[in-house]
């Protein structure tokens, strides 16, 4: 069974919190906040709400300011916010909606309408999350796609730039994949890609690490806070594990079984370099590995 | 639950009332009830932390 959606109700009036909480508690997990700062604490928690019902008029920080702060942070800007307020002018409503609220309910409210609107907005939010997930996933291997990888690279590059940590990136290419497809058929080729993806998914499991399908028979591993020894170790392990899958490949120049070539690079991200340099570096190592005979790991350490 | 502002804290309060040693923690229970019924969860959490400390019960960090 699906876990109950979580709704944050923000209002400085105890009575309003009571009424709305009683209205929604049966269907949802309800959390409450009595001011703007508490609301921001709740939305920035490890388990943020799926929807926020937000009062406008509150002391210290009003609802507009809470929404503005939520919209300015990547982690919270996607949480739908419904204003529920005694401010009843069209100007106030327009302001709330222009700031990014998904709806605006005027007090006194009609409870069944509040319930219906909450339900509708949660449905929309759930569908949007699903679409976002699909847009970032490779359909064949069900692992992150290139778009997802590039977003992660950008995010981790900025993070490591701030912390001064190493960052490693590996590009992996299935050796003689065209010949495999030509000999065994595209369905068999797809199965091989799925098996390679399974190895990568199993071996790359730290929270910030990303294994993604870069395109065709090319995969990429993003390894933040990893030095060249650590990166090379995992790349070599993956190379061995894939050859040990023992998938027959009678038309490969690298052996009788399916193999992969890997190129890796380690850098310390800084303001003087760009994230794409990492991809270019790993790609040139991969090219060199293929030129030297395939089924190998080549690495460059630029730290 | 008060730490995350959970509305069900009010229900749990009833269960907690049974478990509390009223003679020892009567004041704290009254204080806790007042805060939770008023949805002042941060203050409620402080009371729970004080009681837990006296009973040597470790709590999750905020």
User: What tens digit of pLDDT does each residue of A234-265 get?
Assistant: 999 999 999 999 999 999 888 899 999 999 99
Residue B38: per-residue pLDDT: 84
pLDDT category of residue A279 using cuts at 50, 70 and 90: very high
Residue A248 is given by DSSP the state E
ipTM: 0.74
Structure tokens that stand for B23 in this block: 């003679």
Least confident of A5-19, A142-156, A262-276, B10-24: B10-24
DSSP-assigned states of every residue in A136-201: TB-TTT-SB-HHHHHHHHHHHHHHHHHHT--EEEEEEEETTHHHHHHHH-HHHHHHHHHHHHHHHH
Q: What SS3 class is residue A264?
A: strand
Domain annotation for chain A: domains and CATH numbers: 6-135 (3.40.50.2300), 146-301 (3.30.70.270)
Question: What average pLDDT does chain A have?
Answer: 93
Least confident of A1-5, A32-36, A81-85: A1-5
**A191: CB partners within 8 A, 6+ apart:** none
Sheet-wide strand order for A260-267: A210-215, A218-224, A167-174, A260-267, A297-301
Structure tokens that stand for A223 in this block: 């390894």
Q: What SS3 class is residue A211?
A: strand
Q: A-B interface: how many C-beta pairs under 8 angstroms?
A: 33
Radius of gyration of chain B (CA): 11
d(CA A29, CA A7): 6
Residues A31, B7: C-beta atoms closer than 8 Å? yes
Chain A environment of B61 (Cβ under 8 Å): none
Beta bridge partners of A204: none
Active site residue A274: no
Residue A52: per-residue pLDDT: 97
| A→B interface, C-beta within 8 Å | 8-9, 14, 17-18, 21, 25, 29-34, 38, 42, 45, 47
Residue B60: per-residue pLDDT: 67
Tell me phi and psi for residue A273, to 5 degrees: -135, 170
Tell which residue, A137, A159, A155, A154, has the closest CA to residue A146. Answer: A137
pLDDT at A298 over 80: yes
Residue A105: per-residue pLDDT: 94
Least confident of A86-100, A204-218, B33-47: B33-47
* Residues A51-76: tens digit of each pLDDT: 999 999 998 899 999 999 999 998 89
pLDDT at A206 over 80: yes
The more confident residue out of A174 and B21 is A174
pLDDT at A94 over 90: yes
Cα separations in angstroms, A298 against A41, A97, A169, A177, A293: 46, 54, 12, 19, 11
pLDDT at A1 over 50: no
pLDDT category of residue A228 using cuts at 50, 70 and 90: very high
Whole-model pTM: value is 0.70
Element holding A221 (H helix, E strand): strand A218-224
d(CA A184, CA A302): 40
First to last CA, chain B: 11
């Amino acid at each position: 069974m699906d876990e109950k959606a979580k709704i944050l109700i923000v209002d400085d009036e105890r009575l309003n919190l009571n009424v709305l909480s009683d209205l929604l508690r049966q269907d949802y997990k309800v959390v409450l906040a009595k001011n703007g700062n508490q609301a921001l604490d709740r939305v920035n928690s490890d388990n943020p709400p799926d929807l926020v019902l937000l009062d406008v008029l509150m002391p210290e920080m009003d609802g507009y300011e809470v929404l503005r702060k939520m919209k300015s942070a990547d982690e919270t800007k996607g949480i739908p916010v419904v204003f529920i307020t005694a401010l009843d002018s069209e100007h106030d409503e327009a302001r709330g909606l222009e700031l990014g609220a998904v709806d605006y309910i005027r007090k006194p409210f009609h409870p069944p309408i509040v319930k219906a609107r909450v339900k509708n907005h949660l449905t929309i939010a759930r569908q949007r999350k699903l679409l976002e997930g699909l847009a970032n996933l490779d359909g064949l291997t069900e692992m992150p796609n290139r778009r997802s990888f590039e977003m992660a690279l950008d995010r981790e590059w900025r993070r490591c730039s701030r912390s001064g940590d190493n960052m490693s990136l590996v590009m992996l290419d299935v050796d003689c994949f065209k010949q495999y497809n030509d000999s065994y058929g595209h369905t068999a080729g797809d199965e091989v890609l799925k098996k390679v993806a399974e190895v990568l998914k199993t071996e790359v499991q730290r929270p910030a690490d990303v294994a993604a399908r870069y395109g065709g028979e090319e995969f990429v591993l993003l390894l933040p806070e990893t030095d060249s020894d650590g990166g090379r170790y995992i790349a070599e392990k993956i190379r061995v594990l894939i050859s040990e899958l023992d998938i027959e490949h009678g038309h490969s120049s690298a052996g009788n079984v399916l193999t992969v070539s890997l190129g890796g690079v380690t850098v310390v991200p800084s303001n003087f370099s760009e994230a794409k340099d990492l991809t270019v570096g790993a790609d040139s190592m991969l090219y060199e590995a293929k030129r030297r005979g395939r089924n190998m790991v080549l690495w460059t350490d630029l730290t | 639950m008060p730490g995350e502002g959970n509305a069900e804290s009010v229900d749990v309060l009833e269960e907690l009332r049974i478990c509390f040693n009223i003679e020892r923690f009567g004041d704290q229970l009254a204080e806790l009830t007042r805060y939770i019924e008023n949805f002042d969860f941060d203050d409620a959490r402080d009371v729970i932390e004080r009681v837990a400390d006296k009973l040597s019960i470790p709590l999750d960090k905020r």
